[in-house]
Structure formats: C-alpha cells, structure tokens
Structure 1
C-alpha cells in the first residue's frame, strides 16, 4: 500500500505490524531516490520468521524486492546496501544468496555487527536505489 506524502515524496507500506507500532514506512520514494528501511526476514503475511539465517536473508530480499517493485524499480537500480547481523559468523553463509541478487549489480555495501530489535532476527538489510527515468526526446 502506498500513501502519498507530497508530490515528490511517497511512503510504501508492507503491512508489517512493526510499521504501525513503531511509526515508519517500509520504503520512501523521494524524487529519484528510493530508501528501503532495514528489512528483516519476517514473512509479513503471517508475521513469522525462520530460525535459519539463510532463509531469513532470502525472505528479506523478497520483502525488499516487493518494496522496490512498488516504488517503480528493481534490484538493478540498487546503489547502496547495508547488512546488519548480530553474529558475524552468520554473514558468510548468506553470501551465495546475496551474490545471486547483487553479483551483477555490485552496489556499494557495508556489513555491520549489531543488536537487532528482536532476538529471532539474525539478518537485516537496508537498500538505497535510484529510479531510472526515461528521458524525453
């Protein structure tokens, strides 16, 4: 669900209960930029999350992909990625999943080891994308 904020800025919501409880949007389109909030491996339809870090990474990417599509872009438009994990040992098992998504795109990326808001969360991703607009001739 998208909510218009201004002509150049709009919010995209996933239906996650966290968005309403905390007060944020899954993504914000601001001009040509798409800012996707930190996104974990929750399945928003059921509000469940796998115990497996790779499955969490895969679901996180599905969640991000949905937001990007609603914003009018794809993973090919991603220019910056931040990975957040409570345990650095969990990062390497996710590499094949991340490479399948970003291997050809090669966005700038950072991985941070930090606490996440729910102990079930083992992987979180935040992305920035730039909309590619057709040039009028």
Structure 2
C-alpha cells in the first residue's frame, strides 16, 4: 500500500475546516492552496507581494517536511481575486520557480477572506 501522510502547519484554518497543508502520497506531494498568513501569528500583510512571499515561505516549509523542495514542483496554481495583482508578484514567484519552470495556471476567483489577495497551490515530487 502506498504511504499517505498529512502535513500540518499549525494554521487554525486546517483545524476549523478539516484539511492538511500538504498530503504526501508515495512520491507525490500535494500542497493545499496556501495564503499569505503567517501561521505562527495568524496575521497577514495588506501588500500582495508580501503575501506572495509569505505564501512561498509557508509552501517551502510544507515541501521540506515532505522531503521535497521548490526544485521538485511540477505544477503551480495561482489564485487571485484581482488579475492586476498578479504581475507585481512575478519577481518573487520567479525566485522560486524561474529555474524550475513548472506547469502553471493563474485564475481570477474569490478567496475565503477579503484580506487574502493571492493563494498558491503546488504539486511536487519527493526526492529525499
């Protein structure tokens, strides 16, 4: 049977809603849509670029716990309520994905909390 393991970040949302930050299934890692909340303090910046950077820190921590890294990401999904917020985030996104070049999608949609300006979700492979 394939190993299945849930990775929790300590976000109150995971407990309240009933999901894991990431799920490891064999060599695959599925990271949930991750927002710019600092889960230690449950605070979020008003700035979309700072939110994107925090999303990536949260995702990086989940990937590391799963035995993976940004270098192993094969798909990334960007979810934003306002399409105009996407381009300002490109430099911080390129820092993690510029060399990796995962398959990517950007979608304009509503998010669960009006303070959230970007949500990022990734799929990766475990290499460790």
The TM-score by the shorter chain falls in which range? over 0.9
TM-score between both structures, scaled by the size of structure 2 = 0.98
Runs of at least 4 residues off by over 3 Å: none
Counterparts of 1:30-109 in structure 2 under 5 Å?
Answer: 30-109=25-104
> Which ranges in structure 1 are unaligned for 5 or more consecutive residues?
1-5
Tell me the distance in 2 between the aligned counterparts of 1:75 and 1:109. 14
Residues 14-70 of structure 1: per-residue CA shift (max 9 Å, x gap): 000000000000000000100000000000000000000000000000000000000
SS of equivalent to 1:125: strand
User: Please, which of 96, 106, 122 is the counterpart of residue 117 of structure 2?
Assistant: 122
Q: CA deviation at 1:132?
A: 2.2
User: Please, which of 10, 17, 35 is the counterpart of residue 15 of structure 1?
Assistant: 10
> C-alpha root-mean-square deviation of aligned residues, in Å?
1.0
Tell me the distance in 2 between the aligned counterparts of 1:101 and 1:59. 12
Q: Number of matched residues?
A: 128
> Which ranges in structure 2 are unaligned for 5 or more consecutive residues?
none
Whichever of the two has the greater Rg, that structure is: 1
Tell me the distance in 2 between the aligned counterparts of 1:51 and 1:111. 20
